[in-house]
Amino acid sequence: MKQLQEHQKGIIAVLVAALLWSSGGILVKLVTLNPFQIAFARCVFASLVFLVLFRKKLLKVNGFTFLNAFFYAALLTLYVVATKTTTAANAIFLQYTAPIYVLLLEPVLNKTKYEKINIITISVCIVGMLLFFTGKLSPGDVKGNILALLSGITFAAFLLGMRKNKHEYQYSSIFYGNIIVVLILLPSMFELTTITLPDFTMLAFLGIFQIGIAYAIFSYGLKRVYAVEASLISMIEPVLNPVWVLIWYGEIPSFYAIIGGIIILIAIGARTVISGSPALRARFKN
């Protein structure tokens, strides 16, 4: 019974984390600062949260720590710029193509063969990705979509780096990733002469809850649920992200973007389920 309760707590924790992550799109859209200023302020607040929550764990570093921190810093910045440049749906869906690059690169890095299920997943996701560049696109959409794709690539590099490194270094990688953003984007704040209370509040929420607290809650939940469960529940983020933006900002994704996003999420979700089931995985190996 106690084990079941712990599992339920884990599911709730991952769900809450995904809900907090999903608020990123609407808050980035509503804040009136430029993308670099938003990324800077968000990371300042997130860094403070990590200092309070993880303290001594942040002192554990190695070479991979700072490499992963660099990829995480790039991810944080590219996501904000992409969200401000194109639609929130495009930014989050294309960022979630990260598993495709992981599936492409892992066999190369580990010198293993490509599995049939991974080849199918990659092929289907590429079709979904192409739909984002179909139809009438403004220059902003094209630029934003490219930035979103780059955020997916940096996300994949970050995930691969974190897998290569030991678990005990993950907190410091994320902390120093935020610090890198703060240091690099500090000059952007010299252009800011004043900030409104609504902007400050939303920036604080982005850093404290959407990044800092969300990651702490997710880490708690991840220890109590199966990896497959965590991956599937986390997919609530890209689903709800554009929904909040539609409700509160009135931004409507293109028809092709919606279809492309659905294709990507279904492909990745199906692959996650299959990889988590030995029986289903065996079928795709034959």
Could you report the per-residue pLDDT of 176-212, keeping only the tens digit for each? 999 999 999 999 999 999 999 999 999 999 999 999 9
pLDDT, averaged across the chain: 92
User: Does the pLDDT at position 23 exceed 90?
Assistant: yes
Total tally of structural domains belonging to the chain: 1
CA distance 238 to 259: 13
pLDDT band at 286, cuts 50/70/90? Answer: low
pLDDT band at 1, cuts 50/70/90? Answer: low
DSSP 8-state secondary structure symbol assigned to residue 191: G
Give the 3-state secondary structure of 194-243: CCCHHHHHHHHHHHHHHHHHHHHHHHHHHCCCCHHHHHHHHCHHHHHHHH
Confidence (pTM): 0.93
Mean local confidence (pLDDT), 235-255: 95
What is residue 80's predicted lDDT score, i.e. its pLDDT?
Answer: 98
DSSP 8-state secondary structure symbol assigned to residue 103: H
**For residue 52, what are its two tokens?**
């309070």
Closest CA to 179 of 17, 27, 47: 47
Helix (H, G, I), strand (E, B) or coil at 132: coil
Helix (H, G, I), strand (E, B) or coil at 165: coil
User: Does the pLDDT at position 4 exceed 70?
Assistant: no
Closest CA to 49 of 225, 219, 243, 190: 219
User: Does the pLDDT at position 113 exceed 80?
Assistant: yes
What is residue 275's predicted lDDT score, i.e. its pLDDT?
Answer: 82
Domain span including residue 263: 2-285
CA distance 210 to 196: 20
Mean local confidence (pLDDT), 102-123: 88
